[in-house]
Amino acid sequence: MTPTRKKRLAVVGLILLGVSAATAIALTALNDAMRFSIGPSEIVAGDFPEGRQLRLGGLVASGSVHRDTQSLAVNFRVTDCIHEIPVSFNGILPDLFREGQGVIAHGMLDESGMFQAHEVLARHDETYMPPEVERAMALAGGNLVCGEPIEDHLAAVEVAY
Amino acid sequence: MIWKTLKVGFHRLGSPPTFYRISALISPWLWAGFALCTAIGLYYALYVVPPDYQQSDSYRILFIHVPSAWQAMAGYLVMAILAAIALVWRIRTTEIMAMMCAPIGAAFTVICLLTGSLWGRPMWGTWWAWDARLTSMLVLLFIYLGIMGLYAAFEDRRKGARVACILVLVGVVNIPIIHFSVEWWTTLHQGSTIRFFGESTMHPSMMPPLVWMTVAVKLMFGAVLLDRSRNELLEQDRRKGWVRQAFGGDA
Amino acid sequence: MIPDFEYGFYVWTSYAVFALVIGWQIIQPLARRRRILAELREELALETGEYDDPDS
């Protein structure tokens, strides 16, 4: 390699190094702001005052969904398997909304500690499988539950299959 | 001895007439492979694989969304390597190839963003959210467009390519951010299904279309890259001897 | 023949977007090549004096 090319290669290396370092520092500083949602435990810990717009993320607690028969109003609790936050929402829920499903509610806490959501989004996990496999898994008692690591879940799939 | 042969071959490939000839030989095969893999992939994706237990048929969007997303990122890495070679060795064909990666990568980024939106609406309940994954993918599109704009803004193509190549290097930092965004921060977007290390969380019966479409899209990237580079070379060298010689006959 | 999917609108629109963008990636280089070759032929014809003015 000629000396000129060596020099140019060094410049290329320096550009990459400099940009990576600057980005790493910026992202570390922005770490909290980069999060799309926060969990129930953080709200319970009291880091977020009422009346501030938040996105609350977690699982819909089983047995907690109560739908109003007259309107679209619905109440449920969002859990991270440690703490639960009651959520009230009036609107159309996504098709994936069900108990045990990951959701993100956008809204704010009121004085009573109820989370008033104006939008509810469903999260889905990164697992894809045919319905028969899922049914077999449910029979084998392998339905994904709070706190169960995804590896156990997959092992159950394999057994059922 | 082998090293020397490689080096000579490398420099020969860099010569425009040789590149022009060889790319014309390779490109049709890449196109044929693309057509074959897409046909098989689409057949599997639309007719063979079962619906998902949770998302029913909507997850079939995955078979174009994920290969496009991977190609948008892999295409950027290809472009960055070509750009680094172009900046150090100043080989014109490499400069051109690096520049021609940008519109193809941008096209795949557009496919990824639009199909993602069409998937998000029925499943998440929204067309768009400003979470880390979606936002960093949008940034990738802007970087691609910026590279294309910068290249086009210079009257002198070589100067434009050199300046744009530096932007390519600067933008490469966004690629790991896209990839790790779902691990580093909480996002609306779910985590990675397919993992290089460790088990993938997709049932084996659903894998074939993903594999076929991924290969198809890679072959297509190569084919379009060669075709676009040939065009760019031809246009830049239209007054040069080798072009006159090659096309003088059929004028 | 055409499968009836749940969420069919979203699935088919996605595949249409894919087809359109890929189609554009196929057509654009072909069209550009035709244009360049046409211009090249014109230039060469002008130089050799064989130019046949299409407007005359």
Residue pLDDT, tens place only, B85-110: 999 999 999 999 999 999 999 999 99
Answer yes or no: do A79 and A117 share one domain: yes
Asked if C1 has any chain B CB less than 8 Å from its own CB, the reply is no
Answer yes or no: do A11 and A66 share one domain: no
Which among A15, A133, A120 has a CA at the least distance from the CA of A73? A120
Say if residue B153's pLDDT is above 90.
Answer: yes
Answer yes or no: do A52 and A81 share one domain: yes
DSSP string, A59-74: EEPTT--EE-SSSSEE
pLDDT at A62: 86
Which among C32, C24, C34 has a CA at the least distance from the CA of B103? C24
Show the domain range for A16. 1-34
Answer yes or no: do A75 and A47 share one domain: yes
* Chain B nearest CA to C55, separation (Å): 19
Place of tokens 């008692």: A141
Residue B131: left if φ>0, alpha if ψ -120 to 50, beta else—which one?
A: beta
Asked if B126 has any chain A CB less than 8 Å from its own CB, the reply is yes
Whole-angstrom Cα distance, residue B46 to residue C3? 7
Asked if B177 has any chain A CB less than 8 Å from its own CB, the reply is yes
Which CATH number fits the domain that encloses residue A54? 2.40.50.140
Round to the nearest angstrom and report the end-to-end CA distance of chain C: 54
What is the tens place of the pLDDT at every residue in B54-82?
898 999 999 999 999 999 999 999 999 99
Residue B35 lies in a domain: no
Q: What is the model's pTM?
A: 0.90
Residue B38 lies in a domain: no
Answer yes or no: do A143 and A102 share one domain: no
Residue B225 lies in a domain: yes
Cβ neighbours around B35 below 10 Å, total:
13
Residue A113: left if φ>0, alpha if ψ -120 to 50, beta else—which one?
A: left
Whether residues C40 and B58 touch (CB distance < 8 A) is answered with no
- Among C37, C40, C41, which would you mutate to test the B interface (most chain B Cβ atoms within 10 Å of its Cβ)? C40
Answer yes or no: do A56 and A118 share one domain: yes
pLDDT in tens, chain A (161 residues): 788 999 999 999 999 999 999 999 999 998 888 888 888 888 888 777 777 888 999 889 888 899 988 888 999 999 888 888 999 999 999 988 988 888 999 999 888 889 999 999 998 888 888 888 777 766 654 445 555 555 555 555 455 44
- A120 vs B contacts (CB less than 8 Å): 125
Whole-angstrom Cα distance, residue B183 to residue A44? 24
Say if residue B238's pLDDT is above 90.
Answer: no
Show the domain range for B80. 62-196+204-231
Q: Into how many domains does chain A fold?
A: 3
Answer yes or no: do A91 and A64 share one domain: yes
Answer yes or no: do A75 and A29 share one domain: no
Q: Into how many domains does chain B fold?
A: 1
Nearest-by-Cβ selection for C10 from B47, B118, B235: B118
SS (H, E, C) B70-128: HHHHHHHHHHHHHHHHHHHHCCHHHHHHHHHHHHHHHHHHHHHHHHHHHHHHHHCCCCC
Say if residue B226's pLDDT is above 70.
Answer: yes
pLDDT at A161: 46
Size of interface A-B (CB pairs under 8 A): 128
Answer yes or no: do A28 and A100 share one domain: no
- Is the separation of the CB atoms in A61 and A78 below 8 Å? yes
Q: Which chains touch C (3 or more CB pairs under 8 A)?
A: B
Among A44-48, A129-133, B1-5, B127-131, the range of highest mean pLDDT: B127-131
Which among A74, A82, A76 has a CA at the least distance from the CA of A43? A82
Nearest-by-Cβ selection for B228 from C29, C41, C50: C29
